[in-house]
Chain A
Amino acid sequence: EDQVTQSPEALRLQEGESSSLNCSYTVSGLRGLFWYRQDPGKGPEFLFTLYSAGEEKEKERLKATLTKKESFLHITAPKPEDSATYLCAVRAGNNRKLIWGLGTSLAVNP
């Protein structure tokens, strides 16, 4: 069964303390892995798409990487405004629908 698992469920960091969020997946024929950010009371906001193992994408303090089994979202020197829930999703095979993880809730303390 296709599955996406995110860890940890929650993470609390001090401002400037770098860390990584994990998204592991079990799917047949990965067609894309997606990272979204969701602020409380709002809809998810697109961050990155990764298509093949070894691919990396960066945006400000965020860097997403992909292997054949998992993706990492690295957060370098986070700021309080990076506090949010980070969602991972994958597309598999010819299915246009996404399989979503439950997210990692990140809190960055000043």
Chain B
Amino acid sequence: NAGVTQTPKFQVLKTGQSMTLQCAQDMNHNSMYWYRQDPGMGLRLIYYSASEGTTDKGEVPNGYNVSRLNKREFSLRLESAAPSQTSVYFCASIDLDTQYFGPGTRLTVL
């Protein structure tokens, strides 16, 4: 079992460019989350999906869109990247009260 995988691991974008962060889990969980982690801010929830076909906004959804493609995959899209979106992005798959995190994507927006 790979658990939660994320691609890419690193990415550098210019302001205004778009990109999609990919996340997949092989644990057959219904719920999946996207977080960003910034120094001094902790983990903040961007979007979550309670089950296949549903998505909801978290604390900081502005500038992002998500797609729950199927039960395994949950992608995060930045349509027009801004320097304020420079961060480390984590995907998590949830089993009851336990969150299983991916290795993260380190994104820099210049």
- Give A contacts to B, CB under 8 Å: 32, 34, 36, 41-46, 49, 87, 89, 91, 96-98, 100-103
Secondary structure of the B contact surface, majority rule: strand
CB neighbours of A89 from chain B (8 A): 43
Q: A46-B98, A103-B42 are in contact. List 17 more A-B contacts (CB 8 A).
A: A34-B99, A41-B103, A42-B103, A43-B102, A43-B103, A44-B90, A44-B101, A87-B42, A97-B48, A97-B58, A98-B43, A98-B45, A100-B42, A100-B43, A102-B40, A102-B41, A102-B42
Q: Which of B43, B44, B90, B99 has the most CB of A within 10 A?
A: B43
Residues of A within 8 A of B100 (CB): 46
Query: Complex Cα distance A97/B4, Å?
Result: 19
Chain A residues with Cβ under 8 A from B104's Cβ? 41-43
